[in-house]
A and B are shown apart, each in its own frame.
Chain A
Amino acid sequence: MSWRGSRLRDEFVRTLMEIARTDRRVMLITGDLGFGVLDKFAQEFPSQYINAGVAEQNMTGLAVGLALEGKIVFTYSIANFPTLRCLEQIRNDACYHQANVKIVAVGGGFAYGPLGISHHATEDLAVMRALPQITVLAPGDPMEVRAATHAIYATPGTCYLRLGRGGEPAVHSAQPKLEVGRATRILNGSEVTVLATGAILKNAFDACKALQARGKHPALYSVHTIKPLDVELLDQLARRFEVIITVEEHSVIGGLGSAVAEALSQMEQPRARLKMLGLCSGFSSVVGDQSYLREIYGLSAKHIESAAWDSYAKPSSGELKAV
């Protein structure tokens, strides 16, 4: 089987089916979304599958009730529906009770770019990360999705898994070991280190490769776990590198960049400066496909390359491209 072009959501479902086959406690509840994606799961595991209808609050409460009775429940929907629509159920019912509920959102960032702001999931990491007693993951390529699905299954309590959607290319050439709370190093480097989260990882990777061709060697990490953040690694990076660049297809308020800034603020005299690449708070009433929106909001590989190149040359102005 080729990993190339495997969709993150397909990889999630494929992995979950493997898990469901060996553990009958595993259940999948969809909020009436996943056309053509969940059919195989529903057919093979009818007693482990529910379509809860277009009712995300009930879906999440239901998942908690099932989880408290011993099930390991994955809730599934797209964009902001499984998170923001039922935020209080996640906070009070799932997190407070440490319920084994795994919230899966397909379409992080601009994956559903043409559909408009209702489908732009650009604050989900911030909101989920702010909740107590939750683990937050945003894997960067199909192999990381596979590992992350296994990881949240094995992690007790409430987890959030942010997925991309379509045609995400592979970054890893071999299945990486993914440990929750430990960022995965992809490239060694010096002076500048790039930290990326979620499906924007490929753009960050391409940017770093382009810089290598120009004689610069930034390090690259996939920060697939936003919470708990790999503070130990950050402590090392902040001492070893001149500049840390965070890259996220998400608002810079509350996401990876914020999380790193929070960690750096607690360190004594970190050497590294922080440069955040992401979206300023705002709505994109302009639509377009994912690569188009990444381009106009400064998240193309070229933009990341340019920001990193400038970091080698001079201190960053820290300006952010407004949405």
Chain B
Amino acid sequence: MDTYALALRIRRHAVQMTHLGKSSHLGAVLSMADIVAVLYGAVLAKRPDEPKWPGRDRFVLSKGHAGAGVYAALAETGFFPVERLRGHCTNGSALCGHISHIDVPGAEFSTGSLGHGLPVASGMALAAKRDGKNHRVFVLLSDGECDEGSNWEAILFAAHHRLSNLVAIIDYNKIQSLGSVAETLALEPLTGKLKCFGWNVVEVDGHDHAQLASVLSIDPTNNELPTCVIAHTTKGKGVSFMENTVLWHYRSPQGEEYLRALNELEGKSLEG
């Protein structure tokens, strides 16, 4: 699958979904769209017609507020009809603003409160280890989410138990809820911290699909440490006036802004 084309579709769906549902967090979806596209388009072992296939790779979206991006990826890769996306955040829809698994084929786990995904993913990875299974467990976190202490409990745990089948991806766009990460609660040196905690740490350009595909294609049997992929990203990536702003963590695209955003994404290739 052309992952750049998938990423573009995810972005366009996200703009339309947040427009129709008058919902927030578009900037967070645009930030991670390439990561999600590479996962669903090239990395995850999956069977869309058998969502609970035991051999699938698990993917937990811990930054649940960006659920629209995963719903779009699931629809585009055949888990459910693309038309369902129009219901996102509207009355009676199962497509909640924060990702929910109920009646959403392929949604592995429901989140929304930050700091929940990594402990759960660690449990999934430990189960696979103890049962001798070779599937992998991926979990995608936001950078602001790394403020949550529960993540650091899990970071200790995963290293101690050498969960080499676990890959935590941090969508490091440097902006969190009310401002920059650096000004809010500094994470740096993030790579150093995670290495000190006993993780294999890789930094990549989170919009470069070749780099992402390379680092995410881990062999769980050929490693002794859990892996953290620090993906340097741009919040709001792909829509010029949404890039690197706090505003588009919250604002719903309406009117002229909606049309401009769609226009910028129309037929555009974000490669390179």
A residues with CB within 8 A of B: 47, 50, 52-53, 55, 57-58, 60-71, 88-89, 92-93, 96-97
Q: Does B8 contact A (CB under 8 A)?
A: no
Instruction: Tell me, in angstroms, the Cα distance from A85 to B246 when the chains sit together.
Output: 32
Please determine whether B157 and A69 come into contact, CB atoms closer than 8 angstroms. no
B228 to chain A, nearest CB (A): 16
Instruction: Tell me, in angstroms, the Cα distance from A57 to B153 when the chains sit together.
Output: 8
Please determine whether B127 and A69 come into contact, CB atoms closer than 8 angstroms. yes
Question: Among the listed stretches B76-84, B114-122, B170-178, which one makes contact with chain A, having 4 or more residues with CB under 8 Å of it?
Answer: B114-122
Return the contact of A61 from the options B110, B112, B119 (Cβ within 8 A).
Answer: B119
A65-B123 contact in complex given A57-B149, A57-B150, C-beta closer than 8 Å:
yes
Question: How many residue pairs bridge A and B at CB < 8 Å?
Answer: 83
Q: Does B154 contact A (CB under 8 A)?
A: yes
Please determine whether A65 and B116 come into contact, CB atoms closer than 8 angstroms. no
Please determine whether A66 and B124 come into contact, CB atoms closer than 8 angstroms. yes
Residue from B101, B110, B126 whose CB has the most chain A CB atoms within 10 Å:
B126
Q: 27 A-B residue contacts at CB 8 Å? A: A47-B130, A55-B153, A55-B156, A55-B157, A57-B150, A57-B153, A61-B116, A61-B119, A62-B119, A62-B120, A62-B154, A63-B123, A64-B120, A64-B123, A65-B121, A65-B124, A65-B125, A65-B127, A66-B126, A68-B109, A69-B123, A69-B124, A69-B127, A88-B116, A92-B111, A93-B116, A96-B110
Please determine whether A58 and B150 come into contact, CB atoms closer than 8 angstroms. yes
A66-B123 contact in complex given A52-B157, A58-B157, C-beta closer than 8 Å:
yes
A residues in contact with B103, CB < 8 Å:
none
A residues in contact with B156, CB < 8 Å:
53, 55, 58
- Please name the residue on chain A nearest to B139 by beta carbon: A65
- Please name the residue on chain B nearest to A98 by beta carbon: B102
Please determine whether B150 and A53 come into contact, CB atoms closer than 8 angstroms. no
User: Count of chain B residues with Cβ under 8 Å from any Cβ of A?
Assistant: 27
Interface residues of B in 138-197 (CB under 8 A from A): 149-150, 153-154, 156-157
Q: Is the contact region of chain B dominated by helix, strand, or loop, or is it mixed?
A: helix
B residues in contact with A89, CB < 8 Å:
116, 119, 150
Instruction: Tell me, in angstroms, the Cα distance from A50 to B154 when the chains sit together.
Output: 14
A residues in contact with B112, CB < 8 Å:
92
B12 to chain A, nearest CB (A): 30
Q: Does B128 contact A (CB under 8 A)?
A: yes
Please determine whether B123 and A61 come into contact, CB atoms closer than 8 angstroms. yes
Instruction: Tell me, in angstroms, the Cα distance from A62 to B60 when the chains sit together.
Output: 13
Instruction: Tell me, in angstroms, the Cα distance from A88 to B111 when the chains sit together.
Output: 11
Q: Is the contact region of chain A dominated by helix, strand, or loop, or is it mixed?
A: helix
Please determine whether B150 and A93 come into contact, CB atoms closer than 8 angstroms. no
Please determine whether B127 and A70 come into contact, CB atoms closer than 8 angstroms. yes
A57-B127 contact in complex given A62-B154, A62-B157, A88-B113, C-beta closer than 8 Å:
no
B residues in contact with A67, CB < 8 Å:
123
A190 to chain B, nearest CB (A): 48
Please determine whether A93 and B120 come into contact, CB atoms closer than 8 angstroms. yes
Instruction: Tell me, in angstroms, the Cα distance from A233 to B117 when the chains sit together.
Output: 41
A residues in contact with B113, CB < 8 Å:
88, 92
Q: Does B131 contact A (CB under 8 A)?
A: yes
Instruction: Tell me, in angstroms, the Cα distance from A56 to B140 when the chains sit together.
Output: 22
Instruction: Tell me, in angstroms, the Cα distance from A58 to B150 when the chains sit together.
Output: 6
A residues in contact with B119, CB < 8 Å:
57-58, 60-62, 64-65, 89, 93
A residues in contact with B130, CB < 8 Å:
47
B residues in contact with A55, CB < 8 Å:
153, 156-157
B residues in contact with A66, CB < 8 Å:
123-124, 126-127
- Please name the residue on chain B nearest to A71 by beta carbon: B127
Return the contact of B154 from the options A47, A61, A97 (Cβ within 8 A).
Answer: A61
Instruction: Tell me, in angstroms, the Cα distance from A176 to B193 when the chains sit together.
Output: 54
B residues in contact with A53, CB < 8 Å:
153, 156-157
Instruction: Tell me, in angstroms, the Cα distance from A52 to B158 when the chains sit together.
Output: 10
Please determine whether B128 and A69 come into contact, CB atoms closer than 8 angstroms. yes
- Please name the residue on chain B nearest to A56 by beta carbon: B153
Instruction: Tell me, in angstroms, the Cα distance from A89 to B115 when the chains sit together.
Output: 10
Please determine whether A92 and B157 come into contact, CB atoms closer than 8 angstroms. no
Instruction: Tell me, in angstroms, the Cα distance from A202 to B111 when the chains sit together.
Output: 43
A residues in contact with B126, CB < 8 Å:
50, 62, 65-66
- Please name the residue on chain B nearest to A67 by beta carbon: B123
Can you list the 9 inter-chain pairs with the closest CB atoms, starting with the nearest? Answer: A65-B123, A61-B119, A69-B127, A58-B153, A55-B153, A57-B150, A62-B123, A65-B124, A65-B120
Please determine whether B131 and A61 come into contact, CB atoms closer than 8 angstroms. no
Please determine whether B154 and A68 come into contact, CB atoms closer than 8 angstroms. no
Extra A-B contacts (14), CB below 8 Å, given A58-B150, A62-B122, A66-B124: A58-B154, A58-B156, A61-B122, A62-B120, A62-B154, A63-B123, A64-B119, A64-B120, A66-B126, A66-B127, A68-B123, A69-B127, A97-B101, A97-B110
B residues in contact with A58, CB < 8 Å:
119, 122, 150, 153-154, 156-157
Residue from A47, A58, A67, A89 whose CB has the most chain B CB atoms within 10 Å:
A58
Instruction: Tell me, in angstroms, the Cα distance from A69 to B58 when the chains sit together.
Output: 10
Return the contact of B131 from the options A52, A64, A68, A69 (Cβ within 8 A).
Answer: A69
Residue from A47, A63, A66, A88 whose CB has the most chain B CB atoms within 10 Å:
A66
Instruction: Tell me, in angstroms, the Cα distance from A280 to B242 when the chains sit together.
Output: 53
A213 to chain B, nearest CB (A): 54
Instruction: Tell me, in angstroms, the Cα distance from A275 to B126 when the chains sit together.
Output: 49
